[in-house]
Structure 1
Amino acid sequence: MIPSLRASYNQHFTAQLYQDFLNGMAEEAGEAPAFKVAETPVFIPAQLTAKLVQACDAIIDVIVRPDFKTLTKDAIPTGMHVPNETAHPHFMVIDFAVCKDEQGVLNPQLIELQGFPSLYTFQELMTRQFREHFNIPGTVNNYFNGLNDDTYLKLLQNVITGAYKTEEVILLEVRPHEQKTRIDFYYTEKKLGITPVCITDLIQEGKQLFYLKDGVKTRIKRMYNRVIFDDLLRQRPTLGEHVDLFQDLDVEWITHPNWFYRISKFTMPFIHNEFVPESCFLNQLPSIPEDLGNYVLKPLFSFAGQGVVIDITPEDIDQIKDPENWILQRKVQYAPAIETPDGPAYCEIRMMYIWEDGATRPLLVHNLARLSKSKMIGVTKDKSHTWIGGSCAFFEGV
């Protein structure tokens, strides 16, 4: 989106450079990404950078309100509450679509937010490999708040492991070695020393949890949680015997599972900002809008775009039996803002935060980008296209 950088990148791009870039990530992580990685990063101009940060600050103003937990008391589904909730999430991400206003000016529009970690370690690897294999100028940066590769990884280490020994901290997931994001787990283990562990491999003794570390039963004092509990419930019938994570356990969560629901689509109706599309809980909708085609229907308790209804009819709304679990949101029109050799691409930018204990607000640290040439953004969709998939952004003005 910075025309000069986009033109230069496209001009100098070759398939061999791209393959070398992919090989570099695979060599460092020990395995190639199991998802499509885009052929390009995104170059964000200073004006759009400022708008993204402004939008995030407005959203965080709501999250740090003293009554935020009261506002979100109904966010956690029945039976999904996990004891020992922390005062705040340690990780948080905010997703924006890149759009254009009526004057053709680039603007962000909020798509979703999550009190949940993303590919925090993998993004360090990806952005560094982009720099190593392509000519990314020093006028743009992937980090915020003065961070660099080393200080970013040190911050991750401190937040995830704290004062504990690395063997006392695990990365918890459901079947981690089958997840498409497993490269992040392996690279996290390589850089931070934290072992990915499946929920089925946890050993419970009283309120304490253990796992086998090199054949030795080892106490778990902190879990870097990568389990999406909706997904856990879906897979539960096929998992066999495993520890019940909904009980009171003597273990710390980073990030605590309840925040996945508190900071989510459930939060959107409470945020009022020019960069946040109008949203309303379906059970509080005064009347069906006359321009219903300009709205999208989203289930509160789903992830990865599942269940979203894009082209809504009044009948779709009438058929919903649990309107309290849905939001009606004004539709966001993605702009085909990324010029690529085989046509323009749409883009989402994920702003990634870390919230240290004792801090009054989370810290903006890094980012993730997604490029697509179809109606729904996602790294597993439109596989026939090139120049789409997971990526990162380099920002002007940071």
Structure 2
Amino acid sequence: MTTFDTVRLVAAREIRVKLRDKTFLVSTAIFLLVVIAATVLPGLLDGGDDASSVAAAPGPAATALADAGLDVRTVADDAAAERLVRDGDVDAAVVAGPRVLAMEEAPSDVVEALSAQPPVELLDPEAVNETLAFLVPYAFAFVFFITSLTFGLQIAQSITEEKQTRVVEILVATIPVRVLLAGKVVGGTVLAFGQIALIAAVGVVGVQFGDAPDNLLSLLGPAIGWFIPFFVLGFVMLAALWAAVGALVNRQEDIAGASMPVQIAMMLPFFAVIVLQDNAPVMKLLSYLPLSSPTAMPARLFDGEAAGWEPVLSLALLALTSAAMVLVGARIYEGSLLRTNGRTKMATAWRDREAARLPG
């Protein structure tokens, strides 16, 4: 069996195990429900209000009301229109003046239909709405942070569990240690990317039914397109470190303490992008730092602040860093995987990887 076949075999096993995990399935379902609620429900709720019924005599006012999609009931005169309002047969009436008659509340849709609106010329039609300018960077940062934390922790737990049960000793007897690591990272990356792709697809469909701006998809397209390679490389970089964390400890309870440096390295960029997204110079710097570029660069692309060459350079820096971190993670993983005499120090795993090939 070739190395590629072995990696694929290990990755397929990781994927099968996770797809049977109820926690994973429930969390994915919750994510999908949140996306549906955020994109579809506002539009449905806004569209659920029935148009006001209006009584009016034939004329320009009645025509304007009908053109606005209101339920217009034609009457002979103003007295008949007022009578229908008092009897509760219609919500409002338009009489000479013109004046709008209603019982308790002014019907806003009727008033808007009769209002003369001046023509509007947008000088910057491609400008990003302030709310979207905040939400989109937050969404990129949140998705990358939560996904990397969740799946990275699962990779570490899987490795520690195999150490506890000593299954790993059987595995490395037939599979090279680095091939085993590669399979776990590939499996975790496929699962993470698959979950994000599913959520993104549901979000795109939801936007079609929601009340989002008409140009939202065209604005998001380039940012999402670049987010995909940034996400994959960034996740691989962190997944290798999470695998090293899992190999350093022998008990599930010790993962939290051992993974603190990795968690801090993930949390700082997350909060930096959220808090400093209005600071253009800082965001430009964050878009080149490997730990923050997976979220900062797509956010700058969405805002239209990044030149065409910038994401290429940033992605190249991230790729080089990811390759380096994979080598670091692999060395620590290899040097601590078979040590079962307590938590292994990182320096020890780095220095004594050859000695760690034997159990104990």
TM range (shorter): under 0.3
- Larger RCO, structures 1/2 (Cα 8 Å, 6+ apart): 1
Greater share of strand residues, 1 or 2?
A: 1
Greater share of helix residues, 1 or 2?
A: 2
TM-score of the superposed pair, with normalisation by structure 2: 0.23
Give 1 or 2 for the bigger CA radius of gyration: 2
TM-score of the superposed pair, with normalisation by structure 1: 0.21
